[in-house]
Amino acid sequence: MITKRQLGFFILALGLLLAAAVLGVDWLGAGRWGEFGPLQRYGLLFSGLALLVGLGLIARGNRPA
């Protein structure tokens, strides 16, 4: 059985990965925009949301997910 905390860590990791990918796109020189693109803004928004949900779930402790 997966707990809220475990699920929270999973979603937190997804959020961090998404943020890294969004920022890494520019570093790798990929993407269609020279600067920080509009899709990256949405990506960061979603990663921020994932971080919030992840932290919120971690705070719920070992209750079953």
Partner 1 sequence: MSRGASRGMRLALNPGVEPKRWQFAPARLLLALALLMYLGYAALYTAYAVQLFRWPYDYDQGEGFELNDALLFSRGEWPYRDNAVYPYYASNYPPLFHLLAAPLVALWGPHLVIGRVLSFLATWLTAAAIAWLVHREVGGRVIPALSGLAFLVSPYVYQTGPLFRLHTTMVLLELLAIGCLARFEDPRHGRRYLWLGVFLLLLAGYTKQLAVFTVAAGLGFVFLRDSKRALLAGTALAAVAGLLFWLLNRATAGQWWVNIIQANVNAFDYLMTLSLFQQWFRLHPALILLAGGYALYELFWDRLSAYTLWFFFALGTGALSGKWGAGPGYFITAVAASALLAGLAGGRLLQRVSARRRPWLEAGLALLYLSYGVTALHLPTDGPVVGRLARWLGVADQPQQLACAAYPYYDRTGYTQLGHWLTAADYQAGAEIMAYVRAAPGPILSEEAMFSLLAGKPVVTNPTQVNNLYYNGLWEGTDLLQRIYDEEFDLIILRAQFYPPPVLGAIWFRYQPVARLCLNGFEYTLLLPPRRLGP
Q: Which of 43, 10, 49, 38 is nearest to 24 (CA)?
A: 43
Q: Which residues bind partner 1 (CB under 8 A)?
A: 1-2, 4, 7, 38-39, 42, 53, 56-57, 60, 64-65
Whose Cβ is closer to partner 1: residue 19's or residue 43's? 43
Whose Cβ is closer to partner 1: residue 1's or residue 28's? 1
What is the dihedral angle through the alpha carbons of 5, 46, 48, 52, rounded to the nearest 10 degrees? -30
List 3's β-bridge partners, or say none.
64
CB of 19 to partner 1, least distance (A): 17
